[in-house]
C-alpha cells in the first residue's frame, strides 16, 4: 500500500513540474508591455501556485516515508 501511494505522489509531482515548466515557458514568451502586463502577472502567480503545490507533494512524500518507517520499527 505504501509503495502505491508513493508512486502516485511521484506521478503527481511529475505532472505538477511539467505544468510549472509550461507556465514558465509561456510567461517568458509573452511580451510584458501594454495590456500584457496583467497577463504576465497572472502567469507569474500561476507559476508560483504550481511551485507551492509541488512543494506540498514533496512534504507529503516525506511524511509518508516517515510514517512507513515508524510502522516498520514498531
Tens digit of each residue's pLDDT (9 = 90 or more) over 28-38: 787 766 667 77
pTM of the predicted model as reported, rounded to 2 decimal places: 0.57
Q: Which residues contact 36 (CB under 8 A, 6 or more apart)?
A: 30
Q: pLDDT tens digits, residue range 8-64? A: 877 887 887 788 788 878 877 877 666 677 777 887 888 888 888 878 877 887 887
Residue 1: pLDDT band by 50, 70, 90 thresholds? low
The pLDDT of residue 33 is 67
The pLDDT of residue 32 is 65
Amino acid at each position: 500500500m505504501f509503495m502505491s501511494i508513493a508512486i502516485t505522489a511521484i506521478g503527481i509531482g511529475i505532472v505538477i513540474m511539467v505544468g510549472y515548466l509550461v507556465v514558465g515557458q509561456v510567461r517568458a514568451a509573452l511580451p510584458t508591455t501594454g495590456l500584457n502586463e496583467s497577463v504576465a502577472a497572472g502567469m507569474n502567480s500561476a507559476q508560483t501556485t504550481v511551485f507551492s503545490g509541488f512543494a506540498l507533494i514533496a512534504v507529503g512524500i516525506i511524511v509518508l516515508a516517515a510514517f512507513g518507517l515508524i510502522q516498520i520499527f514498531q
